[in-house]
């Protein structure tokens, strides 16, 4: 827990200090003793005037340090005699801390966050060249912050200028992501506990939305119910909550959440909580009045069949695109032909991607500290094989916007997506978000209360 969190009541699992240390060790082994990794924290972002957005730490930085303050820099120098883990941070400052809250300071980052050395930010230009001297590569992601890029290049240039009199300057600047993001892609038992906790609270929030929803309520009132559930568990939305009724359910990134919910419409809710840096991502679609119409139910059951087929494909050794995604594509295309929304030969329609009229997004993405989490999807040009410890969303959908050519009017303005968070294991796929119902009968039963 960071000093900024000292008043927070412990409400669930936490990543232990030993795990942060093991993560740094794993990264340092991948980098080797000829490299130094430079990882900046996030900075506070202005919202307007002197108001800031709520602070959100950079996921790579938080993954490696657990340190949740802005204006910090982590440096990992494997095997360095002056210490391997250096953490630069804001100085203690009695007056600033009275206004803005406690700071760990350079001593606190050693005692509380396992740094070998803590420094204030103003020591960076003195300390960094020492840590970089004699190393052949700098591990730093260029392009995220031009300010940090300039400083890194500045230190390398300083060493280059001095290299006639001393050790050679680093020759290569390589991306942190190439190693760290593959590490982050495989979740530890501790991380899965964090994600399961976020998943449970998010599922309960979706159940609450189903219970309270009635015609005449507004989309923002439903969003407020969901956000209250998150906040009561010391969580926040992991991304912009989508609450879209009727035609709005067919707008993929609808975030206005401003309309009145009409009797007879479907409501699509995509909302997930973030718990101490770990995300959940759930979508459910249900009738505003608690009863699916025949057309709504037909589309709904088809999306559910596709989702169950894709979840079943989320097993070690299966491929993300070729197996998980294609399971949904095949199920949906067959069903769209049965419903008369597509006409033609199923294989040819798949080949021509005709289903994209109604299903225009992928079936899912990696999930972790970022909602669209890090890690490659392709391996040597091939869709990647799943491995135990990966977490992915499975989220097929069908969206029949009003006026879609070839779509019978009775299906217009039906938008359905069903999204769960799935862990790849050695055996059966593990669904972290199973506490919110998704079979149509179960949803109707819950809404009937």
Q: In the stretch 395-414, what mask flags binding to ligand GLY with x, by CB under 6 A?
A: x-------------------
251 binds ligand GLY (CB under 6 A): no
253 is catalytic: yes
Least spacing, CB of residue 237 vs Mn ion, in Å: 11
55 contacts 70 by C-beta, under 8 angstroms: yes
417 is catalytic: yes
**Set 58, 84, 270, 323: catalytic member:** 270
Which of 55, 148, 239, 412 is in the footprint of ligand GLY by CB under 6 A? 239
**Set 69, 225, 419, 421: catalytic member:** 419
372 is catalytic: yes
295 is catalytic: no
**Set 361, 378, 379, 408: catalytic member:** 361
140 is catalytic: no
Least spacing, CB of residue 281 vs ligand GLY, in Å: 5
Closer residue to ligand GLY, CB minimum distance, 227 or 365: 365
Q: In the stretch 247-286, what mask flags binding to Mn ion with x, by CB under 5 A?
A: -----------------------x----------x-x---
Q: In the stretch 258-287, what mask flags binding to ligand GLY with x, by CB under 6 A?
A: ------------x----------x------
Which of 36, 243, 371, 414 is in the footprint of ligand GLY by CB under 6 A? 371
Q: Residue 239 binds what, of ligand GLY, Mn ion, none (CB under 5 to 8 Å, by partner type)? A: ligand GLY
365 is catalytic: yes
* Cα–Cα distance, 271 to 229 (Å, whole number): 11
Closer residue to ligand GLY, CB minimum distance, 268 or 371: 371
Closer residue to ligand GLY, CB minimum distance, 342 or 436: 436
Residues whose CB is less than 8 angstroms from the CB of residue 104 and which lie 6 or more positions away in sequence, other chains included: 2, 3, 67, 69, 89, 112, 113, 118
Write b or e for each residue in 257-266: b if 16 or more Cβ atoms lie within 10 A of its Cβ, otherwise e: bebebeeebb
Binding interface with ligand GLY (CB under 6 A): 239, 270, 281, 365, 371, 395, 419
Site residues (vs Mn ion, CB under 5 A): 270, 281, 283, 393, 419
Which residues form the catalytic set? 50, 253, 270, 281, 361, 365, 372, 395, 399, 417, 419
């Amino acid at each position: 827990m960071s000093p900024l969190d000292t008043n927070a009541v412990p409400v669930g699992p936490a990543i232990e200090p030993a795990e942060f240390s093991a993560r740094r060790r794993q990264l340092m082994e991948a980098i080797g003793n000829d490299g130094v990794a430079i990882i900046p924290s996030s900075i506070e972002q202005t919202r307007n005037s002197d108001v800031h957005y709520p602070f959100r730490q950079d996921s790579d930085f938080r993954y490696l340090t657990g340190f949740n303050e802005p204006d910090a820099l982590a440096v990992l120098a494997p095997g360095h005699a002056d210490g391997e883990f250096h953490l630069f941070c804001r100085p203690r400052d009695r007056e600033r801390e009275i206004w803005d809250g406690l700071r760990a300071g350079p001593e606190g980052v050693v005692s509380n966050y396992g740094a070998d050395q803590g420094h204030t930010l103003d020591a960076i230009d003195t300390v960094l060249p020492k840590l970089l001297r004699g190393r052949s590569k700098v591990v730093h992601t260029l392009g995220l912050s031009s300010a940090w890029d300039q400083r890194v290049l500045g230190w390398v240039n300083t060493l280059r200028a001095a290299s006639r009199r001393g050790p050679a300057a680093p020759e290569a600047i390589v991306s942190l992501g190439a190693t760290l993001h593959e590490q982050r892609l495989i979740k530890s038992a501790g991380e899965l506990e964090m994600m399961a906790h976020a998943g449970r609270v998010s599922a309960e929030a979706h159940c609450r939305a189903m219970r309270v929803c009635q015609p005449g309520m507004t989309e923002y009132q439903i969003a407020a119910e969901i956000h209250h559930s998150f906040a009561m568990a010391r969580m926040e939305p992991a991304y912009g909550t989508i609450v879209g009724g009727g035609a709005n359910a067919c707008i993929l990134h609808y975030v206005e959440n401003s309309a009145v919910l009409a009797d007879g419409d479907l409501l699509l809710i995509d909302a997930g909580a973030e718990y101490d840096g770990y995300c959940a991502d759930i979508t459910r679609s249900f009738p505003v009045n608690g009863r699916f119409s025949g057309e709504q139910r037909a589309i709904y059951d088809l999306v559910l069949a596709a989702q169950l087929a894709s979840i079943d494909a989320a097993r070690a050794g299966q491929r993300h695109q070729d197996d998980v995604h294609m399971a949904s594509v095949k199920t949906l295309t067959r069903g769209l032909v049965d419903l008369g929304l597509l006409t033609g030969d199923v294989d040819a329609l798949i080949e021509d991607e005709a289903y994209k009229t109604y299903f225009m997004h992928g079936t899912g993405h990696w999930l972790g500290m970022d909602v669209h989490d890090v890690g490659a999807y392709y391996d040597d040009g091939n869709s990647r094989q799943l491995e135990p410890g990966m977490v992915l969303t499975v989220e097929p959908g069908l969206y029949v916007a009003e006026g879609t050519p070839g779509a019978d009017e009775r299906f217009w303005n039906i938008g359905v997506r069903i999204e769960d968070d799935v862990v790849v294991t050695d055996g059966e796929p593990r669904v972290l978000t199973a506490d919110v119902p998704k079979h149509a009968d179960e949803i109707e039963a819950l809404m009937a209360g």
